[in-house]
Structure 1
Amino acid sequence: MRQLSQSRALIALPLSLLSAGVTQAAEVELPHTMAWTAYGTNSSGYAQAVAIGNMLQNHYGTSVRILPGDNDVSRMTPLKQGRVDLCACGIASYYGAEGVMMFAHPDWGPQPIRLLTTSTASFGLSLAVAGDLGVATPADLAGKRIAYIRGDDALNKGTEAYLAFGGLTWDDVERVDYPGYARSFDGIIAGDVDASFTTTVTPPAQQLASSPRGVSWPVLDPDDAEGWERMLAVAPYFQPHEVTAGAGDVSTDNPVPSASYPYPIVVANQDLDDNIAYGLIRALQDNYDDYKDAAPGAMGYALEYQDLTWVLPFHDAVVEYYKEIGEWTDDMQAHQDSLVERQSLLLEAWNAFIEDAPSDEEEFRDAWMQARATALRESGFEPVFE
């Protein structure tokens, strides 16, 4: 059966060659004003959006208005309504494209969004484990107490993916429910739970590292093909990543083989004007040196960190840009075509389902997820979410 590709085509090209490669390309044409949504004002995603906005203002006279959102729905809603050009989102953008989790709702369904660019920085996304347990790999989590955050699908999916790498499920650990992310770390420090999913640089992980229990990060062997296959079957957006920034003793001198996925993920609706999409990706690469040090994580927009066979389809104008600079292959095009086909199929399935959908919200979700899985399987795709 066809699946979302698990290949990882990261590309590398010196920026000097990049500039030479686009001298004959179309000129950058950006509007006078743009509106983005992003994470809250204290987030690295917001800081990166500000840094990019300053670059666009300085080079192209484009003023960027950034609307902070407290949660995934508040960030995605203005994009859905056409009130903003872009969303500097998290992994919920993928959930939105798939029409799952918080988007398996009558007001949502699969969203026809397109990827413009991503940032992959030095931190990782992992399970922070109490350092006094001697956990070295995800397999060592068997029988341990693992935090489950009520209402946070992304965090729980990350935990499930790490357990899968170790050949485990929630049935192999003791699930401990928490009403919020920060509370779970209070629980680890108090000795009530043993692990919770997070980024390696988050303040709660730093607090855990400073506590008597300490912190450890499970190692994901990049050569463990079966482990990665299990993990990606649960959450195909993860990527092998050498983490060089994190709580505890994680550093460039003491990296941890682990996993990550991009943040922010800059997406737009599929009908975003070609000039805007092309102009933005080219501006980001042509002027990388002007913003890469202006916000934490902004270095992650470098060309070498762009995964051209990830889980979301690119905007057509972005594809044209990569073709211009000689970084787009036939395999990448086949992957892109498959993702577009998958998204079209999901939209067709949603439109057919919504005509006679159950009115009860829980019944609606269950029925949609079943209809979605059936439509994908009948066309040779893996549902991933069920």
Structure 2
Amino acid sequence: MNVIQTYLTEHEQEIIDDIKTFVKIESPTADKQAVDEAGAWLCNKIQSYLDIKPQIIEQEETGNHIRFEFGEGEEQILISGHFDTVWQKGDLPLVEEDETIYGPGVIDMKTGDVQILWALRALKEHDTTTNKKIVVLFNGDHEGIASPTSRPYIESEARNSKFGLVAEAATGETGALKTFRKGINRYTIQFKGKGSHSGNDHQSGQSAIQEAAHQVIDLENMTDYEQGTTVNVGEIQGGSGINVRPEHAQIKVDVRITTPQNGKEINERIHALKPYNNQVEIEIQGGEVRPVMMKTEQTEVLFQQAKSYAQSIGFELEQVAVGGGSDGSFIAAQGTPTLDGLGGVGGGPHARNEHINKKFVVPRTTLLTELIKNL
């Protein structure tokens, strides 16, 4: 056991306590005040643990973002994390059962945020120099809205970085890292027909819902499992009453793609949709919200380094490709080799059983520390 792992083991309960405290500061994405309260907790820890005053990047509508630098070097490493969650206040309680902690955002991704702080604290406490300047960017606009205000900051830092490390949740109970993520396109499609009385004047109405139904079938049929492209109409709204021919309808569409070319092709197909009923107007808005996080030869080299560090710590590390999105996609799209999934190990992100396994906290924080120190 090296000195860093020994230090983190000695402070394991403090790390766990930080995770629980942070989870209790509930921070649903749409509640700017709540997100900023969680950000304030992070800022206080950055100052007290690292003696660094972070930069607060103010936002008007979303949660603020937090940026700070650690160490020195001509080259830099970008470490990314978010501190907003999918859960509304009161949706989930914090529950600790033996080796498991349940709670809102515990794995997605407040454990990862805390591990970032403690990895850097371990380096500071041992006067360990890094080969590169470390830039940490925490954002408060991730969940559900795909980081619209933080994306330019993430991309800008990524272009200046040699490597990207993302402390999002690991995959499954084995804790696999993510070296590939699908890209995400999203669309809102509006249908405008003509209303009429469904009994007295049915024939003069033009049903927006009927048109939407035709388009839903066509959209879903764009799914191609062999290519890895999925099209999901996840929301539909329309009509004003059971006895009224519906003048308006709306659908929202989520698309996952495996290559930039697939994304371009599916985008063109969706924007080229034509109405079955030419008396119903269609308005299509949307496109890419997260690019594909492509795996490259450099990514594989980076993973193999992480795997070697994990073995020296005492555990095996695997890699996977996943369909879920993260800010790692923005980093990798700038040509920066990126490792994602360096955060908590457990399960249930976005589900009511969201949890981490406490026994992985120290080994995973040690792994992150070794990566920061040696890359």
What TM-score results when the alignment is normalised by the length of structure 1? 0.24
User: In terms of Rg, which structure is larger?
Assistant: 2
Higher strand share: 2
Higher helix share: 1
